[in-house]
Each structure stands twice: as C-alpha cells, then as structure tokens.
Amino acid sequence: MKFIKAALLVFALSFFAFTAVHKYYISVTQINYVEEKQSVQIISRIFIDDFEKLLRERYDENITLAGQNESESVDAYMEKYLKDKLVIKINGEPANLNFIGKAYDVDIAKCYLEIENVKHIETIEITNEVLFDVFSEQQNIVKTNINSKQKSVILFPQKAKVLLKFN
C-alpha cells in the first residue's frame, strides 16, 4: 500500500512540475494512403494559439484564428506556410500538396491536404518543419498508414526529415 501511495505522489509531483513550468509544443500529422482513390490524405493537427502566433509573426500581426472575424487570407497563409514546411517525396519524386481546407476543434486547427494520382508507394520521405521557426522545443509527430502498414516518428528541429520504406 505504501508503494502505491509513493508512486502516486511521484506521479502527481512530476505532473504538476511539468505542467506548471513547461508548455509542450507538439503537432500531429496523419498521412494515409487510400489506394482505391490513388490518394494520399493528410490531416495536420496544430494548436490554434501556436499557429496563430506563427501566422502573426510571418504574415499579418492582426490575424485571429477561429474567431468570428477571421480574415479571408487565413487559408492562403496556412496553405503557403504548410506547403513550405511540410514537404513530401513519394518514391523519390517531389509530391504536390493540395490544401483542401481547415476546421477548428476546440483548441486544434485541423489542416487537410491531399496528394492525388499516387499509383503506389514504396518509399515516402517526409520533412515536417511546422512551427520549428517559432518554437525551438517544437516536436512534430508523424503517423502513417500506407499499404496497410502503420509507422510513427517524432521529428524535431535537429531531425526534421525521415525516409520510410513500404516495399
């Protein structure tokens, strides 16, 4: 019983220590290959406040995301930024990312992208530098579901690129 109480105390103290002192900077990008549609579908989840800070610094200091008066230029800025910082090569060839749109879910911006006319995938090279230019502690989790194989990696400023093989 004493062991359980001690373990709970250590857990509680570490939880409060990390949440009170440090904010986590994380994005999650899901990449799925839908073979019957010959399409790579991408959803990138980014905290709204972090994305807003970046867009303000880079493009327009008056931008407000998920607000009633959101600027019409937000989608264009998001598309431009994501195409610059999220780079994908399929089978060694650069892929063209189409920005489909975005949706807000509580404190997360979900950005939808697609790569069309993909007949097969043997390798996929992913460079994800989203928010690295604003937060040095930023980590980008990339999850893939390609050819019925799931893989996950964590990218950070010192290692922003990964090559995954699916053959």
Which tens digits make up the pLDDT trace of 41-72?
A: 999 999 999 999 999 999 999 899 987 788 88
Instruction: Report the predicted TM-score, pTM, of the whole model to 2 decimal places.
Output: 0.84
The rounded distance, in Å, linking the Cα atoms of 16 and 63 is 33
39's CB contacts (< 8 A; 6+ apart) are: 33, 114, 115, 116, 118
pLDDT averaged over 10-residue windows placed end to end, the chain, 167 residues: 46 43 81 97 96 94 86 94 98 97 94 97 97 94 96 96 94
